[in-house]
Amino acid sequence: HVYCLHALNHVLKANTQVLGNNAKRRDREAEMDEDAFRDQGLTRPKVLMVVPFRESALRVVHILIALLESASQKKIDVSNKKRFKGEFGSNPEEKPPNLKRPEDYEATFAGNIDDHFRIGVAVLQKSMRLYAPFYSSDIIIASPLGLRTVIGAEGENKRDYDFLSSIEILIIDEADVYLMQNWEHVLHLINHMNLLPLASHGVDFSRVRMFSLNNWSKYYRQTLLFSALHHPQISSIFNKHCFNYRGQVAVRNAPLTGSISHVVVQLPHVFRKLEADSSVSVIDARFNFFIDKVLPEYRDAIMTHTLIYVPSYFDYVRLRNYFKKEELNFAHICEYSSKSGICRARHLFLSGEKQFLIITERFHFYKRYSIRGIRNLIFYELPTYPHFYSEICNMVKLAGMEGEATLTCTAFYSKYDAQKLAAVVGVERAAQMLQSFKNVHLFVTGGTE
């Protein structure tokens, strides 16, 4: 509600100023200063709202309509409203029945979860026009993928990003979800913000503000970035792509307890520290550490039912290829796996026919299936979402195995995982673990009755 109110307030004030100056120009005397009427950008769109799903865009438009109606105390005329509801709404019957999913899953994936869309919104004095052409819009609501297909890539004939040249407010909501979609699309969009347009698009240059003509728009753009978690990729947008001359403000909630406190299973958690010289070399360091130090411990037949949780798809492919080359007895599931493939892998893992099961973080994010039969758990890298750590750990059960079987959980971390580590174990413990000379730390969760 707050950022919609802020954006709408900005658009209405800007439009009022333009209309007021239009009237002054018609009635003005010859000697009035031309620069007094510089009230526009090089293109009309002023606000860009980046949201992950059509349902998010539907909510934003409903809030904008409600705000306009509350201001005027009467219903406003909204063009193309029926088409909008048809394309952005959802059919309640489409939702499969009796599926139990966590609350955060239900909140994220409510309604229409298509992630390829873009829509222009023109705000007029007593009405709103949906599906306005971008160059006639005040507000653009889109997903990163929806914008990526318009912006295109270098060398493509049909590409257009001039409509981003005079964006004055950029709002990126639910930034954490884009980490699970494709972060490259977000970076591609940011890199095409506030560039000089390639065509004039019928602009009256006598009305364009001087900072837009001087290509200084990025220093005047306000960027609002909202995320449910701390992540280096999100921080890099804030640090490297927000240039406003008035400065920056960041509000971050420090995780005091960590998600490990929500693990109810009695389980020893072994955190193993790995050394790396840079954030790039840590990728190879983690792989070599796993292959040389950790995997040999799990090759034994006693260590059956081992789940390996891999956040990065590239690491997943690397591990899968290594396991195939070494002819290890394993199954694997990712976000692209077919339903039958997922069922088969889960069954083979539960029955013990496959010793290892490798899953990706995106598979867990999008499906949230419960994996049964886990006795040994390896976090190849700490999860992006801290509550995934406790969710996966709480899946660990003996599942009718012999009573003397032991359960284990191992996680790798480096100094470059400070934010993720703090979210799992808490800020104080994370600081101690990162500064400690010891490379192995043990926590035990769950109490005996």
Q: Count CB-CB contacts under 10 A for residue 117.
A: 19
For residue 225, give the 3-state DSSP assignment: strand
Are residues 301 and 197 part of one domain? no
Structural domain tally of the chain? Answer: 2
Are residues 205 and 152 part of one domain? yes
Q: pLDDT at position 31, please?
A: 54
Q: Which domain holds residue 130?
A: 1-241
As a whole number of angstroms, the distance between CA 4 and CA 6 comes to 5
For residue 107, give the 3-state DSSP assignment: helix
Are residues 227 and 118 part of one domain? yes
CATH number at residue 37: 3.40.50.300
Among 3-17, 100-114, 336-350, the least confident range = 100-114
Q: Count CB-CB contacts under 10 A for residue 37.
A: 19
pLDDT digits (tens, 9 = 90+) for 302-324: 788 999 999 999 999 999 999 99
pLDDT digits (tens, 9 = 90+) for 72-130: 788 899 999 999 999 999 876 666 556 688 899 999 999 999 999 999 999 987 899 99
Which among 262, 258, 289, 291 has a CA at the least distance from the CA of 414? Answer: 289
Whether the per-residue pLDDT at 35 is higher than 90: the answer is: no
Are residues 94 and 175 part of one domain? yes
Are residues 224 and 101 part of one domain? yes
Which among 158, 379, 399, 219 has a CA at the least distance from the CA of 286? Answer: 379
Sheet holding 118-123, edge to edge: 77-79, 127-130, 118-123, 139-142, 47-50, 169-172, 222-225
In degrees and rounded to multiples of 5, residue 160 shows phi and psi of -150, 125
Are residues 22 and 118 part of one domain? yes
Within-domain flag for 250: no
pLDDT digits (tens, 9 = 90+) for 142-188: 999 999 999 998 888 889 999 999 999 999 999 999 999 999 999 99
Within-domain flag for 106: yes
Q: pLDDT at position 405, please?
A: 61
In degrees and rounded to multiples of 5, residue 248 shows phi and psi of -135, 150
Within-domain flag for 61: yes
Are residues 406 and 367 part of one domain? yes
Q: How many degrees, rounded to 5, is the angle at CA 116 between CA 112 and CA 121? A: 85
Whether the per-residue pLDDT at 24 is higher than 50: the answer is: yes
Which long-range CB contacts under 8 A does 145-150 form with residues at least 24 apart?
Answer: 145/115, 145/116, 145/181, 145/182, 145/185, 146/115, 146/116, 146/117, 146/118, 147/50, 147/118, 147/185, 147/189, 148/185, 148/188, 148/189, 149/116, 150/118
Whether the per-residue pLDDT at 422 is higher than 80: the answer is: yes
Q: pLDDT at position 449, please?
A: 40
CA dihedral (189, 133, 115, 220) in degrees, to 10, reads 30
Q: Count CB-CB contacts under 10 A for residue 47.
A: 25
Are the CB atoms for 47 and 167 separated by under 8 Å? Answer: yes
Q: pLDDT at position 147, please?
A: 97
Which pTM was predicted?
0.92
Are residues 374 and 230 part of one domain? no
Are the CB atoms for 221 and 170 separated by under 8 Å? Answer: yes
Element at 24 (helix H, strand E): helix 2-27
Residue 388: Cβ-neighbour burial (10 angstroms; 0-12, 13-18, 19+): buried
Are residues 396 and 306 part of one domain? yes
Are residues 269 and 237 part of one domain? no
Within-domain flag for 110: yes
Task: Over range 332-357, report the average pLDDT.
Answer: 95
